[in-house]
Amino acid sequence: MSLIKSISGIRGTIGGKIGDNLTPIDTVKFAAAYGTWLKWTSDKENLKVVIGRDARISGSMIQQLTVNTLVGLGIDVVDIDLSTTPTVEVAVPLENADGGIILTASHNPKQWNALKLLNNKGEFLSGEDGAKILEIAESDDFNFAEVDDLGKITKIDDYIDRHIEEVLKLKLVDAEKIKSAKFKVVVDAVNSTGGIAIPKLLKQLGAEVVELYCEPNGHFPHNPEPLKEHLADICELVKKESADFGVVVDPDVDRLAFIDETGEMFGEEYTLVACADYVLGKIPGDTVSNLSSSRALRDVTQKHGGSYKASAVGEVNVVTLMKESNAVIGGEGNGGIIYPEAHYGRDSLVGVALFLTHLAEKKVKVSELRAEYPAYYMSKNKIELTPQIDVDAILKAMEEKYANEEISTVDGVKIDFPENWVHLRKSNTEPIIRIYTEAKSQQKADELAQQMISEIKEIVG
């Protein structure tokens, strides 16, 4: 299978050979590299790291390996066990920890797992720091603690509740208004930790909750990426239950999608658009998303008198640009909401609370809310790569071919046409070229994508 080492962590499939997969040896090596980096870069005597995981079948094994590797380095561990990515991000500063590790392969299928690494602010590491950790891992330059200096483990099992408390404290979350709306909501949490977090949050907000795939056992009932083609069951159940809407999250709860009352997708891209519309209506300011995200955010930001900027793909890039431009809200078009008032990380709990406040305030149906926003349609495609393919040469050829259009090479190649755009880039997490297009109709977006795929195949020959 695959072991993918990147500046944001290490991701791989369980089983198989060392160095090719996320085996116990690779897990220990990478956890040791992270712990060693912390020791090298801190002047503190006693270090502390928060560790949490999603509900993957391999989660408990990877967790024990990671926790005990850090203990072996003399680092104390706060083990919050079944958790979400944003919960760990919130826990790091609350615990005054020096870092955090989230054990999750996000939207990848069940055979995958990963170690995602955080700094002492609970934010993803910079590219420079991630590169240093990869270097340490390659060199095996580890120095483990002697027996009297081993780290200690503290277990805390209510961090999701603490996270919910933090969300409910946010000024723009109006719990009373949401309660008075008496929403009925269906939740699909793909049998991971969103099945704990999202129903708990919704119930605290006075909603009636219908749970679908909310058992955190790691047996994903469908492909865990929250895209339309994987969500037939919840679309059907929303209609059957006469629910106000459906909520869908990925296994680690940093991506959020809504289903409207008719069983149609609100559009993963429009999660951020709706939340931004609400926030900007209260606090004028600027927004940031990545180059692969919808133009609709730009339009809504400008409607509120703000300005919009696009970063390279990747949460750390979005966060960096948000900080530079002092953005009041931002995120990624894949349903990732980053609201600095809470923390600088994609957080579906924050997204749910903001969206529900917006909905309760406007007193409209979800389909009516969607109709208020500019209509753009995306097509998300990919081409599988073989080792022989020179991706950089392909991207260069496409850049040259469309040199007369508005081009960005910040991350791959983005070509902005007057009515639509295409973004071609290497994936950071899979051996593929991603081809994202957006246009004023689904047909045009699909046609543009197919045109680009044909042109790339011609270049490859």
pLDDT confidence of 440, banded at 50, 70, 90? very high
Average pLDDT, integer, range 431-456: 93
So which residues are the catalytic ones? 106
Mean pLDDT for the chain?
Answer: 95
Sequence-distant (≥ 6) Cβ neighbours of residue 57 within 8 angstroms: 110, 217, 218, 219
Tokens of 111: 């055979």
Min mean pLDDT across 6-20, 53-67, 158-172, 318-332 is at 6-20
- Asked whether the beta carbons of 116 and 104 are under 8 A apart, the reply is yes
Would you say residue 227 has pLDDT above 90?
no
The one-letter amino acid at 72: G
pLDDT of residue 460: 81
Rounded-to-integer distance, Cα 188 and Cα 84, Å: 15
Residue 99: how many CB atoms within 10 A of its CB?
A: 25
pLDDT band at 110 (very low <50, low <70, confident <90, very high): very high
pLDDT in tens, 236-259: 999 999 999 999 999 999 999 999
pLDDT above 70 as % of the chain: 99
Q: Which two tokens stand for residue 229?
A: 């083609």
Amino acid code (one letter) for 248: V
What pLDDT is stored for residue 428 in this prediction?
67
Residues contacting residue 121 through CB under 8 Å, at least 6 positions apart: 92, 93, 344
pLDDT tens per residue across span 165-217 = 999 999 999 999 999 999 999 999 999 999 999 999 999 999 999 999 999 99
Q: What is the pLDDT of residue 6?
A: 78
Place of tokens 């339009």: 299
| Residue 196 tokens, joined | 């704990």
Q: Which residues contact 272 (CB under 8 A, 6 or more apart)?
A: 289, 293, 297, 329, 330, 331, 332, 333, 335, 336, 337, 351
pLDDT in tens, 126-173: 989 999 999 999 999 999 999 999 999 999 999 999 999 999 999 999
Distance CA(258)–CA(198), nearest Å, equals: 13
Whether the predicted pLDDT of 391 surpasses 80: yes
- Which domains, and CATH codes, for the chain? 3-156 (3.40.120.10), 177-372 (3.40.120.10), 377-460 (3.30.310.50)
pLDDT of res. 389: 80
Residue with tokens 């051996």: 431
Section 400-412 average pLDDT: 94
Contact at 8 Å (CB) between 77 and 153? yes
| The pLDDT value given to residue 92 | 98
Give the whole-angstrom CA distance, residue 356 versus residue 174: 9
% the chain with pLDDT above 90: 88
On the CB side of 343, CA atoms within 13 Å amount to: 28
The pLDDT confidence band at residue 387, using thresholds 50, 70 and 90, is: confident
More confident residue, 147 or 269: 147
Flag whether pLDDT at 1 surpasses 60.
no
Q: What is the DSSP string of 12-61?
A: EESSS-BTTB--HHHHHHHHHHHHHHHHHH---SS-EEEEEE---TTHHH
Q: What's the confidence (pLDDT) of residue 31?
A: 98
Burial class (CB in 10 A: 0-12, 13-18, 19+), 186: buried
Residue labelled with tokens 């119930």: 203
Max CA-CA distance within the chain? 67
CB count, 10 Å around CB of 178? 24
Residue with tokens 């005597």: 45
Question: Per-residue confidence at 432, pLDDT binned at 50, 70, 90?
Answer: confident
In DSSP terms, 436 is beta-bridged to 380, 423
pLDDT in tens, 298-353: 999 999 999 999 999 889 999 999 999 999 999 998 899 999 999 999 999 999 99
Pick from 193, 232, 233, 185: which is nearest to 210 by CA? Answer: 185
